[in-house]
Amino acid sequence: MNNKMRLAIIFTLPTLVVLTLGGCHSRSRRPGPGPAPQLPDTCRLALVPHEGNEPIDIEIRRLQDQARKPGGPAQAIEKLGWKFVQKARVSSDPGYYKLAESCALCMESQTPNSPDALLLHGHVLDSLHQFKQAEELARQLITARGIAVDYELLGDAVMEQGRLSEAVDAYQRMMDLKPSPEAYERAAYLRWLKGDLPGAIEMMSMAAQAASPVDPEGAAWAYSRLALYELQAGSVQQAEREAESALSFQNEYPLALLVKSRVLLAEGRAGEAVEPLRRAARLNPLPEYLWVFADALRATGQAQ
């Protein structure tokens, strides 16, 4: 065994599987002097002026300004794409995924088969539930380079298609190449899917503790999932603490508001749960949010 740290984290059927820790088409240019060539349509879509006053909105505008400059940093459009992905998650607005996709297509129009463009495009497709197309890009990336984030994309795509054994293999490879909060989160989710709740709590705790304030949305997600697992395990007070930790990273994070409200309902404090559930359902009006909101309203005599 080499000097890399190794740790089993994911389980197979019927017991734990071992995961180890190791250490657009552009327009042609005119010859000679003349007007500067126009950007491809996909690039122009990504650079439509953005509004908003949150820090992420300010960063999006900064990156757009960089990308608009002649000879601006080539990385600006890529970073912009990932910021749109983050904005989509924070706002629960899938329209931002389409803007992120336009960034990927813009990159591809300028550098065909760019791995960075393929990775961004693959994550967008996976987020839009186009899992088969995301899998195709992931396999193309693995053939070309095969780094941890490529296996992460493959694992996400095949897991959503119900092929869990393939997902375990992909996440195992991801973990071997680069242990990270993202790898711990996926290990936790697979353990939870297989019924290993203590193991899921263990791995999600590692993910939450490794989360960074630089990525407050990611940290809020990890603590929210951990709170859900703790609540399922019957550790209501611990679940409430984890939910509060999530809200300390993002004070209007829908999933954190949801799990905090579920804790309040479990403690018989339905009256206190109504308002955070109202905000959560407004921010993310998915059935799971509306069901719990309806439960809280009924519990407080607001059946109508």
Range of the domain at 223: 211-304
- Do the domain assignments include residue 131? no
Q: Average the pLDDT over 12-35 and give the result.
A: 35
Evaluate whether residue 118 is within a structural domain: no
The torsion angles phi and psi of 207, rounded to 5 degrees, stand at: -65, -45
pLDDT at residue 243 is higher than 50: yes
Residues 217-255 as b/e (b if ≥16 CB within 10 A, e otherwise) read bbbbbbbbbbbbbbbeeeeeebbbbbbebbbebbeebbb
163 contact partners, CB below 8 Å, separation of at least 6 = none
Cα dist from 45 to 105, 174, 238, whole Å: 10, 33, 45
**Residue 1 placed within a domain:** no
Give 182's contacts (C-beta < 8 A, 6+ positions apart): 152, 174, 207
**How many domains are contained in the chain?**
1
- Domain membership of residue 248 (yes or no) is yes
Residue 222 located in a structural domain: yes
Closest CA to 16 of 265, 162, 196, 163: 196
Q: Assess if residue 260 is contained within a domain.
A: yes
Q: Looking at residues 263-277, what average pLDDT do you find?
A: 95
Average pLDDT, the chain: 87
Q: Could you give the angle at the alpha carbon of 107 between the alpha carbons of 102 and 108, nearest 5°?
A: 95
107 Cβ contact partners less than 8 Å away, ≥ 6 residues apart: 77, 78, 81, 114, 116, 117, 120
CA distance 18 to 178: 15
| pLDDT over 50 at 181, yes or no | yes
Q: Give the tens place of pLDDT for each residue, 88-120.
A: 998 889 999 999 999 999 999 989 989 999 999
Strand ranges (DSSP E) for 135-219?
none
Cα dihedral sign for 3, 4, 5, 8?
negative
Please report, as a single letter, which amino acid is at residue 259. V
* Whole-number Å distance between alpha carbons of 47 and 76: 11
CB 150 within 8 A of CB 162: no
Residue 288 within any structural domain of the chain = yes
Query: Within a domain: residue 267?
Result: yes
CATH at residue 238: 1.25.40.10
Q: What is the DSSP letter of 210?
A: T
Per-residue pLDDT of 127-140, as tens digits, reads 999 999 999 999 99
| Mean pLDDT on 255-271 | 95
